[in-house]
Structure 1
Amino acid sequence: MDLKEIYREFINKTGLNYRQQQEDMVLQFADALMKQKVAFIESPTGTGKTIAVLMASIWAIQNGVPQIVISTFRKDLQREYMNTFYDFLLPNIDIFGLSKETAPKIALLKGRSNYISVNKIVKLEQFLNEKELTEEVRSAFKKFKQAIEEANGDIDFLADEFEIFKNALLQVSNGKFKNMELQDLTLPISPTTEEDAKYYLAAKQRAAGAKIIVTNHAMVILYSYLSKVNKNATFPFLPQYLIIDEAHNFHLTAQSILSDKVAVSKLIMIVNDILDEVQSSSDFRGKKVLLRKAEQLLTVLKDSKKRIPEILKNYVGDSHVFFLDSGKVPAIVFSKLADTVSEILNSSRSFLQYIKTPGLEKRIPKTAITYTADFEDKVTRIVEFSVPLRKYSSSLNLFLNTASTYLSDSSDVYYILTFSPQELYPSFARMKPDVSQWLRSNVFYSLPCCIMTSGTLADASSFLKIEDSKGLFIQGNFEYIKKCCGIKNIERAKSVTQVIYQLPFRLKDIYVYIYSNAPVFEIDEDNGEEDRVLQLQKARERLLQYCADVIINRHQESGKTLVLCPSYEDVRILHNFLVAGLRQIDVISQGVTYAGLSVCLDRYRKNYEKNILVVTGGWEGIDLPDEMLKDLYIVRIPFPNPDSPEFQAKERHLIKSGTWGNKTEQEIRKTVHWIILRESIDETFNKTRQGMGRKGRKEGDSGIIHLFDSRILGKNKDGRTSQLYKYYLPYLKWKYGEENVIVV
């Protein structure tokens, strides 16, 4: 049988719905793999992309492709690929002329922090054995250990058993383990023993023997790069035939990997690990002094973790990102920050100098030495971050002048302080605004085949073609993603496939309300009397109060509601407005009620009829069934913020590298702003479509999407509405024109 016949036989055997789009996708994916193409395929939720990718991969492996790597951004999508293979493809593998024994092996490989540390479990067991515990606790721990073996140490399958064990332990430990999380039992980032990394190494070994590997974007990027700088090293896989799902996040993952980020809380964890190792070791000469210096360092770090957010509490802004060069912060505040950083560095240097005392390193436990190397590496990166602060502190300036590290202040990076959403714990970070050339050289240039796919991938301009399209798909434009990933001018590409598949079902019961009278989130450029930051804050509060009033009026007695915000600042303000106006409905807000998005989702699902979920991280990845979600609110379209660190870094880079002739500084800045905003249209467009995709996941879904950003309506020069919203609601437009769009 050919692949089309195999697909139809698969549909008959499984009883799944036949979809023309899915059949076409299977053939497109297989064609790209077999002919070594570069392909860009947008496939909305409901088109059956997961099955299409796996069927095409099995077919290609069967016909000579050596190994296929499927890369995703989210872990739940990785699980979906694995479950789909074992639940649907493997039981029906005979349609390919294969048996379960001869079917291509598939393996899942994640980063090391997703696997249990054997050493930590051993230490926990030793601690428990020293205590008088109830049989309930010992039984729960035994079952937890059993579950670890069955899950091959993968923490994604251990949440329930860990929760049972932790609850049993809390009953007899006076709350000592209240803050213990499953993540605390995973492998450290620092190198460790083979025994400690048993589960992670086993996962790597399974991947090395597999024909289809499901992994994440970060692993693909790292292995691609490492294979070029260390040609003699061996890796579980080398991306050759690569399918990148959720491809719109690939360059963002690279941006994160190529940035330097050092959390103060991570430094505290490392010093605690060093203390534990030294305290539990036999006595040696210098041990007491070393412990004292480590305790002193720990005190400085803990104090700094609290002090830095306090110093900057009035300046953190959107998403808790503070930019050193923004010009919004008084010198006195910079000075306090610089002094705090200086304390961290000086205390760290004192500790590191002592630990390197001749002869002492040989007496210290080897594991403690490993942790110390990791600590020194992170402190060195903080030194580089501190360069912009040197002029505000004489002690910091003195430290930096004598620091034995290479310091740079390039326009290719920008320095920021980031803060965790709930506790405001600070992290030092150095970011790269553009990674396209790096990705071009280190990932894409030598790949025989690369397929990029996602539910939202195409440029906004692609949807101008929808007007005349009556087929199942159109030939879309993908210039934005090509540019971001450095693929645009790869000469070796033999041929390129560019396809946008349309939804296979009707969205007749999904309505969009656009609130034309909602306050606009923008500043008055002609208002030179009022501070820019204050203007934005007032505009934000007016818009969020309007949003809260609408939500409160509609949801006094019913929940089933998701609210998407562009920033944590929006979440915090809106949460307070909603709590003040709702009496019978619980408001669960990311970064306010609970820190993590996954925890917020779990709490929402338990009582969705009486819950409203307010998040900033849920524009994609939240998959709530129709019965759990009736109203989706989008506070505002996530247009780029001109005050953000990334925007300003791009602005400086363009100003520095451009030729501006006789233009004034103000004219240059306006031109550069326009260039950056124009380039960001596609990213904003796709993020908005991702957010709207939280409703309308399958045929028959119903509900309302509420848009409070009246800018989406736009205005032409003659004052008429420009219907900009049609770009952002393409699927509604494809099927129903404007009848599902209601301007309130």
Structure 2
Amino acid sequence: MNRRFVVVDLETTGHSPKQGDKIIQVAAVVVEKGKIVERFASFVNPKTHIPSFIEQLTNINDEMVKDSPLFEHIAPDVLKLLDDAYFVAHNVAFDLSFLQAELHECGYDTLYNSTIDTVELARILLPAAEGYKLSQLAETLHIKHENPHQADSDAEVTAYVLLSLLEKLHSLPLVTLKQLYAFSLHLKSEISELIEEIMETKQELLKENEQLFHLVHGVALKKKQPIEEELPQPPRSFEEFNETKEEVFSRVLPHYENRPAQWNMMSMVHEALSTHQHALIEAGTGTGKTLGYLIPSVFYAKQSEKPVVVSTHTVSLQQQIMDRDIPILRQLMPFSFKVAILKGRHHYLNLRKFINWIKERETNYDAILTKAKILVWLTETETGDIDEINLPSGGKLFWERINDGHPSPLDFRYPWVKLSFYQRARKRSNEADIVVTNHRLLFMDLMSDQDLLPDYDNVILDEAHRIEAIAGEQFGIQVDYFQTHSLFSRIGTLDCDGLLADIKEILEQARLSGKPDVWQFHLIIKELKTELDDMFRLIHAFVSKRINDGEGGRVSFRYDEKVAYDAGWIGIRELASRVQFLFCDYLREFDQLKASIEQSGVQWTRKEQGVFSDFYEACEEVGQIKLKLQHLLLEEKEEEVAWFEIEPKGAANATFLYSQPIDVSEQLADCFFAQKRSAVLTSATLTVNGSFDYMIRELGLYDFQPLQLTVPSPFDYNKQAKVLIPKDMPSINSISLEEYSMILAQRIIDIASVTEGRMLVLFTSNEMLKETYHYVKELNQLDEYVLFGQGISSRNRTRLLKDFIQFEKSILFGTSSFWEGIDIPGQHLSCLVMVRLPFSPPNEPITAAKTAKLKQDGLNPFMEYSLPQAIIRFKQGFGRLIRTKKDQGVMFVFDNRISTTQYGKYFLRSLPSMDVREQPFDQLLKELEDWWTNSGNMER
């Protein structure tokens, strides 16, 4: 490609040239004819102090730049480099805006170079990359990155990223390039000329298309690879493998350590499967739990010729099993076997919908970017699974239009059924020995009329402490404003784009005699949308009046017979009844419209059939929402808890409606455990006070007498960890929230000064988290530290974790989702602060309903439910600290109830054996300093 590209990277004193931030380093790398031909780099004297945050990030300090040239002295060299070249940068708007500002200050004209943003280009051409930060792309593309956040190193790496991306662009099939060219006119990067140039060098390349791609309506798909047939192999028994397992493990795993606990777990799983029993296995961190259940499972599946389903709580653990554990399992096993991963339908792309939508004109940048990403991804993917592709946040809205969550009759016809990614995944799972799925799909399968999973009798339930909560969600009902708004936006009216407008256009072109009255449909939809909006607003106002003003974030309000005569509740039910009548009108009009279309005798085109099919599917969803709202607002509910959720400071119609069974144990016992030959439940946290009784009761396993095993962690917690409990921390009920948060903030600062950050602070209250975070900021004693707060820095857990790990001196304030399911490796987390024991709020709807029911049954709700639940969550929180044999860490517990109450001892007993100290805070801090120095943490 005969183009000149100048890759620029700048380091600066801050993020905004308009606020006076200045350049401190400039680097440029010149690329011509696919090679780096020139380099330029210089520090710049900014004539201002470099903030400590920037110094920590870049390792550039005031001393390094004080004798460097001013920008005006190097400006001519920079301009000469940029002459007649593409301006390329990683986040081009940042570098270009700074350069323009400095050039203007020196009296130079505005730059008018064509620009390429390697972030944007990578998002399109590397759709499956884990992230698009420069360091992440360098890792993905195997580019050495020696000094991240220094301009010369960053410019060099960006240049190699650019060369990789241009090579990828060249490799795409012609039909994909044509589609990308149409989208390129709406992108930030000016790449239309580059794509045009590549297309001119490519002919139709029929051989390439025939060999690698399958063309469907102008979209290139990766051809399915033929499945290798398995050679018949002599059966091997688990008992035979058990005799030689240490030899096999030593041969396959280079750093293998003998794990007797793992062998015990394997034997228990094998016993449960082969004798058709249920089992509960608590397996501590580091026991090799996943292989502990996979090895006996695959032996049983091959010998019995029946699949074993492995179910996890999170989709990420599903993927981890497939990517990390299954390859090891294949090396360990003396035979081949088939494994399939199966997720809910909405995880898979619906190709028919995507091809229809790709032709629609878009003005939304994220939707255009998502279309471009998916076009490239389709040349690579064999699964069509959304979890392979890294979508922009706005792209997730577009995904709702094109996923396979709500198939229409057309999707079950040729050729779409043959091209369906979901049907392929189903086919693979039907032929597999091990099927990896998740708890939600497992219980959806239980409740659905259709078979979502292949027929199975044996199941492994990993992360089993989450089963009761997930089962409750799946056995319950949920409707929210955003769900209904999105559905009716998809249907549309005659005033805006949507399926109804498309149908009107089709019917007008067909010139049907006795044309259906689409206008009447339009009027009903408008009225129904208005009434629904009013109903959600009324519920929002109803809840707002009945909550404490001080509550932050999303809040819940449980409604039951106590509100039956409340005027506000009566108003909600009256409006809900009107909405039900409008739903009936809507569905009656739909039936008439559908009958008119189907009885018209017109030979509809494939595209027209697609529009009708999507419309029918959407109208069926409307019918489902009608039934849900009727149950939630108008029907009596026995043995159920129903509640509303709102965000007091959010939109006035942002309302969520829920209903769940109060107790799922009987349903689980009758519909699930009684129907399965063997269910093995495993997690790091299943026991309370050394007993499985709580889990057995909650999950309905009492009559099944399950096998039970506790597999201790192999870690030496006495050497690796400490628990420190300050005796002089006041009770939260004795002082105000503000006073408590101020004391807490100062103590977090004192601890961080010893551990140099690497700290996760776990809260049970969003409000206390925010108060403490802001006090730590205001005290201004951690100037060198980077603070991250859930709901403050970001609501996205994954992004917060990535940012937290990036900085050595960092503190992460988290709540709810950070208590479990996160893995912060090694030295990135050395200190855990538990602010409060993790009891569920007593007014939380499910907790309140369970408490009332247990009282009614003559039981102690605290001992039977609240305490066991809190202990399991406490164990989960502690589990974040020590993840490997090399980790060392300390946990502070600031809740004095752990030492002042009778039940506090149960929390400490739930932890592995380790050093627990209870002293005044100043003494604990001194002890921490000594331990920190002697254990080698200071050198890490």
**Are the counterparts in 1 of residues 727 and 920 from structure 2 also a CA contact under 8 Å?**
no
Alpha carbons of structure 1 residues 326 and 738: separation in structure 2 relative to 1, 3 Å: farther
| Cα distance between partner residues in 2 of 1:713 and 1:132 | 55
**Are the counterparts in 1 of residues 728 and 920 from structure 2 also a CA contact under 8 Å?**
no
Alpha carbons of structure 1 residues 691 and 654: separation in structure 2 relative to 1, 3 Å: closer
SS at match of 1:453: strand
Residue in 2 aligned with 1:639? 839
Alpha carbons of structure 1 residues 545 and 145: separation in structure 2 relative to 1, 3 Å: farther
- Between 1:357-366 and 1:105-114, the stretch displaced more is 357-366
**1:85-484 → structure 2 map (5 Å cutoff):** 85-93=325-333, 96=334, 98=335, 103-127=336-360, 140=373, 142-147=375-380, 149-150=381-382, 152-159=383-390, 162-163=391-392, 180=397, 182=399, 185-189=402-406, 193-194=411-412, 195=416, 198-224=420-446, 236-275=453-492, 276-281=498-503, 282=506, 283=508, 284-302=515-533, 308-309=539-540, 312-313=543-544, 315=547, 320-325=555-560, 335-336=567-568, 339=571, 342-343=574-575, 346-347=578-579, 349-350=581-582, 352-357=584-589, 359-363=592-596, 365-387=612-634, 407-410=635-638, 412-419=639-646, 423=650, 425-460=654-689, 462=690, 477-484=691-698
Residue in 2 aligned with 1:55? 295
- Structure 1 residue 277 displacement after superposition: 1.1
**Are the counterparts in 2 of residues 71 and 244 from structure 1 also a CA contact under 8 Å?**
yes
Residue in 2 aligned with 1:501? 711
Residue in 1 aligned with 2:106? none
Residue in 1 aligned with 2:723? 512
**Are the counterparts in 2 of residues 208 and 235 from structure 1 also a CA contact under 8 Å?**
no
Count matched residues.
638
The superposition leaves residues 2-23 of structure 1 with CA deviations (integer Å, 9 ceiling, x where unpaired) of: 3241343123322133222222
| Cα distance between partner residues in 2 of 1:137 and 1:361 | 32
| Cα distance between partner residues in 2 of 1:504 and 1:17 | 11
SS at match of 1:512: strand
| Cα distance between partner residues in 1 of 2:564 and 2:345 | 42
Consecutive unaligned residues in structure 2, runs of 5 or more: 1-239, 493-497, 509-514, 598-611, 925-940
The superposition leaves residues 598-648 of structure 1 with CA deviations (integer Å, 9 ceiling, x where unpaired) of: 343344344464452423212111101122222222221122433232233
SS at match of 2:874: helix
- Structure 1 residue 298 displacement after superposition: 3.1
Q: What amino acid maps onto 2:458 in structure 1? A: Y
User: Which structure's relative contact order is higher, taking Cα pairs within 8 Å and 6+ residues apart?
Assistant: 1
- Structure 1 residue 558 displacement after superposition: 5.2
Does 2:260 match 1:38? no
Residue in 1 aligned with 2:745? 548
Residue in 2 aligned with 1:79? 319
Q: What amino acid maps onto 1:628 in structure 2? A: H
| Cα distance between partner residues in 1 of 2:829 and 2:478 | 36
Alpha carbons of structure 1 residues 349 and 372: separation in structure 2 relative to 1, 3 Å: farther
Q: What amino acid maps onto 2:676 in structure 1? A: L
Query: Taking every aligned residue pair, what percent have the same amino acid on both sides?
Result: 20
- Structure 1 residue 49 displacement after superposition: 0.8
SS at match of 1:322: strand
| Cα distance between partner residues in 2 of 1:307 and 1:629 | 45
- Structure 1 residue 156 displacement after superposition: 1.2
The superposition leaves residues 679-698 of structure 1 with CA deviations (integer Å, 9 ceiling, x where unpaired) of: 33222111100011000011
The superposition leaves residues 315-364 of structure 1 with CA deviations (integer Å, 9 ceiling, x where unpaired) of: 1758621122597x999xx6456546654652463254145147334347
- Structure 1 residue 106 displacement after superposition: 0.7
State the TM-score, normalized to the length of structure 1: 0.77
Residue in 1 aligned with 2:109? none
Does 2:700 match 1:486? yes
- Structure 1 residue 504 displacement after superposition: 0.8
| Cα distance between partner residues in 2 of 1:295 and 1:154 | 35
| Cα distance between partner residues in 1 of 2:277 and 2:352 | 46
| Cα distance between partner residues in 2 of 1:76 and 1:434 | 28
Q: What amino acid maps onto 2:667 in structure 1? A: W
Alpha carbons of structure 1 residues 125 and 645: separation in structure 2 relative to 1, 3 Å: same
Alpha carbons of structure 1 residues 301 and 140: separation in structure 2 relative to 1, 3 Å: same
**Are the counterparts in 2 of residues 224 and 238 from structure 1 also a CA contact under 8 Å?**
no
The superposition leaves residues 446-481 of structure 1 with CA deviations (integer Å, 9 ceiling, x where unpaired) of: 322221111111122x1xxxxxxxxxxxxxx31111
- Between 1:580-589 and 1:686-695, the stretch displaced more is 580-589
SS at match of 2:304: coil
- Between 1:240-249 and 1:636-645, the stretch displaced more is 636-645
**Are the counterparts in 2 of residues 224 and 239 from structure 1 also a CA contact under 8 Å?**
no
Which entry has the higher C-alpha Rg, 1 or 2?
Answer: 2
SS at match of 1:127: coil
SS at match of 2:359: helix
Q: What amino acid maps onto 2:314 in structure 1? A: R
Residue in 1 aligned with 2:872? 686
**Are the counterparts in 2 of residues 66 and 211 from structure 1 also a CA contact under 8 Å?**
yes
- Structure 1 residue 137 displacement after superposition: 9.1
Q: What amino acid maps onto 1:697 in structure 2? A: R
- Between 1:558-567 and 1:570-579, the stretch displaced more is 570-579
**Are the counterparts in 2 of residues 513 and 742 from structure 1 also a CA contact under 8 Å?**
no
Consecutive unaligned residues in structure 1, runs of 5 or more: 167-176, 388-406, 463-476, 524-537, 659-671
Alpha carbons of structure 1 residues 157 and 354: separation in structure 2 relative to 1, 3 Å: closer
Q: What amino acid maps onto 1:353 in structure 2? A: D
- Structure 1 residue 434 displacement after superposition: 0.4
Residue in 2 aligned with 1:70? 310
**Are the counterparts in 2 of residues 712 and 725 from structure 1 also a CA contact under 8 Å?**
yes
